């Protein structure tokens, strides 16, 4: 049997603690392994950054949708079918030539699941979580994102009910591209704000 104390033992790695917690839930019949499997498969295959990319491409192509997205992110995103846990209160942050937004959860790993899937390991890394607040320009530079001194850098902390999605700048040379072609350019990293969307 799994020991409940293992789930809260700070000397164990998060992975081991999660494993202990999962074993415990299974042993006590609180979840069944099929449900856990389905959940993991769903977030690996059906839900991921491809959803957020569709939102961004639509906002780039349709000014009315963009306006709605910035005013009521939750409803505009749900209209494309993307909703569920960790997406109940969505706020969309628009990047521009003068403002660059980047998202973090300083407390843990809050992340907008319906549009980005599960968070990557670097997002959960304590180093990213503390440094992006203290020295955001240095962190972004390490991602290859150099911002001019005239660009205002805003760091958004997800440590509440709100989950953020960055609307990156549309790169030059994409004027004639379809929504589908645009979506293929949009990356997870750009929607968290650590990178820009590269020109094709
Ligand atoms: Co969190």
Q: Report percent pLDDT > 70 for the chain.
A: 98
CA distance linking residue 125 with residue 69, whole number of Å = 29
Both tokens of residue 135?
A: 């020295």
3-state secondary structure of 152: strand
Give me ligand 1 centre to Cα 125, in Å: 12
Angle (CA) 175 80 184, round 5°: 40
- Residue 23 annotated to the active site: no
Residue 14 has pLDDT above 70, yes or no: yes
Residue 110 labelled as part of a binding site: yes
Q: Assess whether 158 carries a catalytic annotation.
A: no
Q: 112-129 pLDDT, tens per residue?
A: 999 999 899 999 999 999
Predicted TM-score (pTM) of this structure: 0.82
CB contact at 8 A, 113 and 47: yes
Does 109 carry a binding-site annotation? yes
Compute CA 4 distance to the chain's CA centroid, rounded to the nearest angstrom. 31
Expressed in angstroms and rounded, the spacing between residue 141 Cα and the centre of ligand 1 is 24
Clarify whether 109 is annotated catalytic. yes
- Domains annotated for the chain, with CATH where assigned, are 4-45 (no CATH), 48-192 (3.90.330.10)
Model confidence pLDDT, tens digit, residues 22-69 = 888 888 888 887 877 777 777 767 789 999 999 999 999 999 999 999
């Amino acid at each position: 049997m799994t020991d409940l104390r293992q789930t809260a033992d700070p000397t164990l790695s998060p992975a081991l603690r999660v494993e202990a917690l999962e074993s415990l839930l299974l042993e006590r019949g609180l979840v069944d392994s099929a449900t856990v499997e389905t959940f993991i498969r769903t977030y690996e295959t059906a839900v991921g950054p491809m959803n957020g990319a569709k939102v961004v491409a639509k906002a780039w192509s349709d000014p009315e949708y963009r306006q709605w997205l910035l005013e009521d992110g939750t409803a505009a995103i749900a209209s494309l079918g993307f909703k569920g846990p960790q997406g109940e209160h969505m706020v969309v942050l628009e990047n521009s030539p003068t403002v660059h937004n980047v998202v973090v959860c300083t407390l843990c790993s809050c992340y907008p699941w319906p549009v980005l899937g599960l968070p990557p390991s670097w997002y959960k890394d304590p180093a990213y979580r503390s440094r992006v607040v203290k020295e955001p320009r240095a962190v972004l530079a390490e991602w290859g994102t150099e911002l001019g001194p005239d660009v205002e850098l805003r760091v958004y902390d997800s440590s509440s009910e709100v989950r953020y999605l960055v609307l990156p700048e549309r790169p030059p040379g994409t004027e004639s591209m379809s929504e589908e072609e645009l979506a293929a350019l949009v990356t997870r990293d750009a929607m968290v704000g650590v990178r820009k969307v590269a020109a094709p």
